[in-house]
Amino acid sequence: MMFQSCRNRTSNLIRCTTAAMAGYIYDTNKSHCQERLKILIVGSGLTGSLTAFRIQQRLNNSDRLDIVVAERATYAAGRFGATASYQNSIADIGAQVLSTVNPKDYRAANEGHGISFEDTQLADTIVQRLVSKNLLLQACDTVLAETEERMIFEGLWKHYFAVKGGMTQILQFLLHEARVQSIFGLRIDSLRIQEDDSISVQGMLREKVQQNSAVISTPFNDKFDFVIICVPAPDALKIKGVATAVSSESLYVLEHVGYDKRICEAHFFSNRLSSILETAMGHRVEQNVEDLDNCIEYVAWQNPKRSISNDEDTCCTVVFHSQTGFRGNNLSLESINETMSELTGLTPREVNSLRLKTKRICWDTSQMITPMEAIISDPPARWQCLQSERNGRLILAGDYMTQSSFLGCVATADAAARAVEKALTKC
């Protein structure tokens, strides 16, 4: 993972942001459209990164845009791009595949779940660009595990592995193409729509001091023309000022969106396990399992997903996904060792002796399972994002407005970009 240290990266990004915005003077006597536009996107996960990408595309890569992305994590992650690393081995501990619909399949014309055929075509265009950049590799359905939420309909859905740097590299590419200033370690706490239609934002920036590795917190205050919140609904509602800025119907949606919970663990083993696991997995990259505690849903072998990388993996990397709705604090090491023993024929003790490192994420908001259309009986057509009642410049986008897939994130992200574009045409 090629990241600068947190302090250096954040300081550099803040300097870049300050320099880029130095010529901006917010004048209430002038139209927003006569000034440089300051846009804040909260969250650098899949929806946030796609939103920045689509804003730049819809506004023709305008030099008048200053897009700032605030991310409370230390890298572009979210539920989609979370990763773990050890030496030069990478593990996806969020999404295992990127899934979208094949627009050439006759079933793709059947619109629904907040998705139009134009959204399907757009998603496929973005995917093909990522493929051309050697960031994605299409996966056959037969190598994947069958999961409750994964949509495996032969010919309709296409699934892709992220190669080289994992799913986070997809987000990095989108943010780079959008020419954003990313500020990592920044938590947005509150916002307020001002009389001049600008939106003031407050938060806390956490950065690490290199000398002693201590973490210091610095207040963040700024003003933006647009704020687009691209985090799960429960996290959006934690930002003070959001609930009072949207309509009662929008608030009802945000309060009733449902997510399941699960745990994901990455285990890095000695590379001596690779040949054994290759024989055990056959042609598959993922495998459904029945474990000792009935808590593991499937295992995902990471090494084959990086197949077009020239780097030699130093580890055999396996990710364990818990059952949907798993409520435990962790997957027991005993269950994992027994599961790997069943797969490889090694004893649990031998499996344990080959382990080098683990990383666990407990997802309190994992897969979105109750979307907007399950909450509102007769939603407006193409209601794919939410906007503030007063001026529409506070926008909330997320898969909860569409569906939990790459396609769903493309649809809601493009809707947010359209909302910005529409607001600007009124100037």
What pLDDT, in 10s, does the model give residues 246-286? 999 999 999 999 999 989 999 999 999 999 999 999 889 99
Half-sphere exposure of 380 (CA within 13 A, CB side): 7
Hey, what are 395's tokens?
């926008």
Residue 47 pLDDT greater than 60, yes or no: yes
- The model's confidence at residue 326, banded by pLDDT at 50, 70 and 90, is low
Residue 16 pLDDT greater than 90, yes or no: no
Dihedral sign for Cα 72, 78, 81, 86, please: positive
Residue 194 pLDDT greater than 60, yes or no: yes
Q: Using CA atoms in the order 272, 275, 280, 286, what is the torsion angle rounded to 10 degrees?
A: 90
- The model's confidence at residue 28, banded by pLDDT at 50, 70 and 90, is very low
Hey, what are 229's tokens?
């919140």
- The model's confidence at residue 225, banded by pLDDT at 50, 70 and 90, is very high
Cβ neighbourhood burial of 96 (10 Å; 0-12, 13-18, 19+): buried
Residue 237 pLDDT greater than 90, yes or no: yes
Would you say the pTM of this structure is higher than 0.75?
A: yes
H or E, element range at 169: helix 167-178
- The model's confidence at residue 14, banded by pLDDT at 50, 70 and 90, is very low
- Residues 393 and 114 sit within 8 Å (Cβ to Cβ): no
CA distance 94 to 47: 14
Q: Which of 50-54, 102-106, 279-283, 375-379 has the highest mean pLDDT?
A: 50-54
Average pLDDT over residues 403-415: 96
227-242 in b/e burial notation, b at 16+ Cβ within 10 A?
A: bbbbbbbebbbebebb
- Residues 43 and 71 sit within 8 Å (Cβ to Cβ): yes
Hey, what are 262's tokens?
């699960």
- Residues 84 and 78 sit within 8 Å (Cβ to Cβ): no
- The model's confidence at residue 424, banded by pLDDT at 50, 70 and 90, is confident
Mean pLDDT of the chain: 87
Cβ neighbourhood burial of 177 (10 Å; 0-12, 13-18, 19+): middle
H or E, element range at 344: helix 333-344
Residue among 412, 415, 417, 399 at smallest CA distance from 94: 399
- The model's confidence at residue 146, banded by pLDDT at 50, 70 and 90, is confident
CA distance 279 to 267: 19
Residue 4 pLDDT greater than 80, yes or no: no
